[in-house]
Amino acid sequence: MSEQNRQTSDDETPAGAPSRRALLGWGGAGLALGAVAAGGAVAAVGSGDTPVTAADSGAAVPFHGAHQAGIATAVQDRLHFAAFDVTTKDRAELVALLKEWTRAAERMTAGHAVGDGAYGGLAEAPPDDTGEALGLKPSRLTLTIGFGPSLFAKGRFGLEDRRPDALVELPKFPGDNLDKARSGGDLCVQACADDPQVAVHAIRNLARIGMGRTAIRWSQLGFGKTSSTTPDAQTPRNMMGFKDGTRNISGTDTAALDQHVWVGEKDKGGWMTGGSYLVARRIRMHIETWDRTGLQEQEDVFGRDKGEGAPVGRAKERDEPFLKAMLPSAHVRLAHPDTNDGATILRRGYSFTDGTDGLGRLDAGLFFLAYQRDTRTAFVPLQRRLAAHDALNEYIQHVGSAHFAVPPGVRDKDDWWGRALFS
């Protein structure tokens, strides 16, 4: 069967880009560096002190590593996020599925077609790969898996004793208007890529492989990342026109990542060591009312100006915010770690627009994705504060919600998503 590469092979890497082999060769520590390079920054590589220029956005992000890609690695432009129900009752089948998914993810993130490819096989059978990503580059595709609380329910897969304490049921926050059909899930897969077709292809193939064992519960497409893990790059704007993610954790700041994002040995993390906790919230924006709000009020609501993104009373976007100069209900003030006993999350959200809602209103907003070391001390208190006081609440509503334990990375070709959990 023909090996259908979407990617130029290692030997044909375009000049100036780090080859995939080189990226892989850096090992665990190099993972973050590689991501930065791919993200458009210039980084000096520890191994040879050779400056590596920016890779084009079509490059491949290494799949293997201590942590899953798609968390601290540079944020791509597009998202397809899917939450799955596990429909099989058989633990062995679930394990087999996770292994199959891992192998497919390895191939797709490297830019290869799944299985025997999209053509050239038996004429009377459907091809292994759906084919819409043929000819496209890997596009920095990352696939990140998470396990929802419901997977650990008693009597399902014998995992009730392995449910991490931090994988709580999220409390109901004031103002939530959650749609069950857009919430929860036993498993999730976050597919991020610079090309939406590549991200959709990945979820579609995983969904297909999963049929009979899993079924998609809900999914969300996202565009226009609303935060960045490469703070040197220009800060993206959200659907409200404001820069979002100015103070996000940098993908290269290993100290901050260890402190706020990765589950550590000290956390009695067990199988979750090296993993993280993901909160996904579909936040609908009342776009039309926002758009007829005065500029002053818009800026007051956020606590930053709209053009530069500077905090109130400051000149530049990255100037240290003076929180007390902001209104007590300002979003930035309420969300800032200083207001929250240092609670810090890594944001990775995307804008979404799912057409209109039948009333002629844009069904749009922010698909909020946040990673943290312990949701109980990060997202939960933060969101409690925001839900109670944030001036932004007048213009937004949380309509979907899910929480997942995101296991550590797949180390090598023999490892698989969730091995530590199931063994």
Partner 1 sequence: MRAVRFSVVTAAATVAALTAVTGCAEKSDGKGEGAVQVVAKDDSCEVSKTKLPAGHIELAVQNKGSKVTEVYVLFPDDRIVAERENIGPGTKATITAEIKAGSYEIACKPGMKGHGIRQKIEVSGGKVAKRSPEMDKAVAAYRTYVQAQADETLPKVKVFTDAVAAGDIEAAKKAYADSRIGWERTEPVAESFGDIDPKVDVREDGLEDGQKWTGWHRLEKALWQDKKLGAEEKALAPTLYKDLLDWQKRVGTAEITPTSMANGAKELLDEVATGKVTGEEERYSHTDLVDFKANVEGAEKSYELLKPIATKNDAALTSSLDKQFAALNTLLDKYRTDKNSYVFTSYEKVGKADRKELSDAVNALAEPLSRLAAAVTK
**Site for partner 1, rule CB under 8 A:** 85, 87, 122-126, 208, 211-213, 215
CB of 211 to partner 1, least distance (A): 4
User: Which H/E stretch holds residue 223?
Assistant: strand 214-225
Quick one: 123 or 315, whose CB is closer to partner 1? Answer: 123
Quick one: 119 or 173, whose CB is closer to partner 1? Answer: 119
CB of 85 to partner 1, least distance (A): 8
Quick one: 116 or 415, whose CB is closer to partner 1? Answer: 116
Quick one: 89 or 413, whose CB is closer to partner 1? Answer: 89
How far apart are the C-alpha atoms of 90 and 93, rounded to whole Å? 5
Contacts of 380-388 with C-beta under 8 Å, sequence gap 24+, read 380/168, 380/170, 380/171, 381/340, 381/341, 381/343, 382/335, 382/340, 382/343, 382/345, 383/173, 384/171, 384/173, 385/334, 385/339, 385/340, 386/331, 386/334, 386/335, 387/173, 387/174, 387/175, 387/176, 388/174
3-state secondary structure of 325: helix
CB of 9 to partner 1, least distance (A): 24
How far apart are the C-alpha atoms of 182 and 199, rounded to whole Å? 19
Q: Give the residue from 188, 166, 154, 375 showing the smallest Cα distance to 271.
A: 166
Quick one: 42 or 211, whose CB is closer to partner 1? Answer: 211
Quick one: 185 or 309, whose CB is closer to partner 1? Answer: 185
CB of 212 to partner 1, least distance (A): 3
Quick one: 137 or 204, whose CB is closer to partner 1? Answer: 204
Which residues have C-beta within 8 Å of that of residue 69, sequence separation ≥ 6?
A: 31, 35, 61, 62, 63, 109, 142, 143, 144, 409
CB of 80 to partner 1, least distance (A): 19
How far apart are the C-alpha atoms of 51 and 178, rounded to whole Å? 48
CB of 88 to partner 1, least distance (A): 9
Q: Give the DSSP letter string of 62-100.
A: P--SSS-TTSSSPP-SEEEEEEEEE----HHHHHHHHHH
Q: Give the residue from 258, 284, 419, 266 showing the smallest Cα distance to 351.
A: 284
Quick one: 121 or 175, whose CB is closer to partner 1? Answer: 121
